[in-house]
Amino acid sequence: MEAILLVGGQGTRLRPLTISTPKPLLPTAGVAFLAHQLARAHAAGVTRIVFATSYRAEMFEAAFGEKAFGVELDYVSEARPLGTGGAIRNAARALRSEPDDPILILNGDILSGHDVRAQVALHTGADADVTLHLTTVEDPSRYGVVTTDGDGRVTAFLEKTNRPPTKQINAGCYVFRRSAIDGIADGEVVSVERETFPGLISSGRLVMGYVESGYWLDVGTPQAFVRGSRDLVRGEIASAAMPGEPGERLVLDGAVVSPRAVVRGGTTVGRGAEIEGGATVIGSILQDGAFVAEGATVRDSVIGRGARVGAGALLDGAILGDGASVGPGNELCGGLRLWPGISLPPTAVRFSPDA
């Protein structure tokens, strides 16, 4: 089975981490986020993946080459952003499948533990044109909601409404009949959510919903990105790509963690990073070469490559860009972000949205 992996977005919600690295390549539980998707795709029977790239397209092939995790890889780039449907149609020119073959479509910012094989089996058994993975959430107003009938056939696809009629949402993993992809306008900006799916439904084509409400997370925000890495480290979602066994922390080669430091909650300590004695790091990501000084506290935060946290400083839900530095005594809370290379001098100032 072939798949298309959508990785063209700029990841603006995750800046400054994505200024130099595309979101799907950000270190997540010790490896690039896409490594977890590639490993899961291989386990689901995928033998070949076409990357639909745009932003910093050259970095994907440099990261994974022609084959990874037992899957053959190819790369197709967009000269300009074409939307989800346009990106799928553009990448389809590299497919080798026949018109009736199933093509798996994966989103590069979704961490999901759902049964892909079962979704494909439903698709082929129903002889559907498209089969959507649907999951349920408590607040569906932030997502595209999908209604289905008693047989699982999709009856409506409603993109982000204030009064959703169901808690079923589009979870971002699709199985397309190859010929249905070929029906998308070539070279045009097309949204599958607003145009392709509603168009198929209105024309009477068979669109099925595969409903499974297991682990699912859109890692597009800083809070969700940290949570996804933390859940992988702790084994709340399994991944064959993760280096090491599940536990309270993942310490990569070359990292130094003082025995007097408290490091837990699914924290990842990157290669060459250092945590001094008396520091507390909980549920966070320290990228390669990061440094946390004695007495500092880091919670639910991301410390970029080579970034430094001074003695006694506090980070709670913060992001430090590559090479940034927080001097002793500072507090960064509530989602604040420090851009790459920026330094805060030693002081005793609390930086937060309500400060």
For residues 241-254, average pLDDT: 93
Out of 202, 218, 234, a domain closes at: 218
Span 12-16, mean pLDDT? 86
pLDDT in the model for residue 194? 87
What is the reported pLDDT for 73?
A: 95
Q: How confident is the model at residue 354 (pLDDT cuts 50, 70, 90)?
A: low
pLDDT of 52: 92
Amino acid symbol at 353: P
Whether residue 227 is contained in a domain is answered as no
314/159: higher pLDDT:
314
- Give the pLDDT of residue 11: 73
Residue 273 sits in the same domain as residue 195: no
Three-class DSSP labels, 71-102? EEEEEEECCCCCHHHHHHHHHHHHCCCCCCCE
Are 296 and 189 members of one domain? no
CATH number at residue 72: 3.90.550.10
> Does residue 137 register a pLDDT over 60?
yes
Q: 67 catalytic, yes or no?
A: no
Q: Indicate the number of domains in the chain.
A: 2
CB atoms within 10 A of CB 101: 15
The predicted structure's pLDDT at residue 160: 73
The whole-number pLDDT of residue 105 equals 96
Provide the total of helices (H) and of strands (E) in the chain, helices listed first: 7, 32
pLDDT in tens, 180-194: 999 999 989 999 988
Question: pLDDT at position 141, please?
Answer: 82
Q: How confident is the model at residue 163 (pLDDT cuts 50, 70, 90)?
A: confident
Residue 209 shares a structural domain with residue 252: no
| Reported pTM | 0.89
Share of the chain above pLDDT 90, in %: 71
Q: What percent of the chain has pLDDT over 70?
A: 98
201-236 pLDDT per residue, tens? 999 999 999 999 889 998 988 999 999 999 999 999
In CATH, what number is assigned to the domain containing residue 340?
A: 2.160.10.10
The reply to whether 228 falls in a domain is no
209 with 253, same domain: the answer is no
Residue 237 lies in a domain: no
The reply to whether 205 and 337 lie within a common domain is: no
Q: What is the CA radius of gyration of the chain?
A: 21
Q: Is residue 274 included in any domain, yes or no?
A: yes
Q: Which domain holds residue 281?
A: 248-351
Residue 355 has pLDDT above 60, yes or no: no
- Asked if the model's pLDDT at residue 353 lies above 80, the reply is no
Average pLDDT across the chain, whole number: 91
Q: Which of 23, 67, 160, 167 is catalytic?
A: 160
Among 80-84, 107-111, 140-144, the minimum mean pLDDT is found in 140-144
| 304 shares a domain with 172 | no
For 315, list phi and psi in degrees, rounded to 5.
-125, 125
Question: In the predicted model, is pLDDT for residue 196 greater than 60?
Answer: yes
- In this prediction, residues 281-288 reach a mean pLDDT of 97
Q: Are residues 307 and 202 in the same domain?
A: no
Q: Does residue 198 share a domain with residue 102?
A: yes
Distance in angstroms (rounded) separating the CA atoms of residues 149 and 88: 27
Residue 310 lies in a domain: yes
- Flag whether 52 is in a domain: yes
Q: Which one of 218, 236, 258 terminates a domain?
A: 218
pLDDT of 121 strictly over 60: yes
Q: Is the pLDDT of residue 126 over 90?
A: yes
Identify whether residues 116 and 41 lie together within a single domain: yes
Residue 91 lies in a domain: yes
Same-domain status, 132 and 16: yes
Q: Are residues 26 and 135 in the same domain?
A: yes
Report H helices in 83-196. Answer: 83-91, 116-126, 178-182
Look at residue 233 and tell me if it is in a domain.
Answer: no
End residue of a domain, out of 171, 203, 218: 218
Query: Max CA-CA distance within the chain?
Result: 65
Give yes or no for residue 350 having a pLDDT over 80: no
At residue 159, does pLDDT exceed 80? Answer: no
Task: Note whether 121 and 259 are same-domain residues.
Answer: no
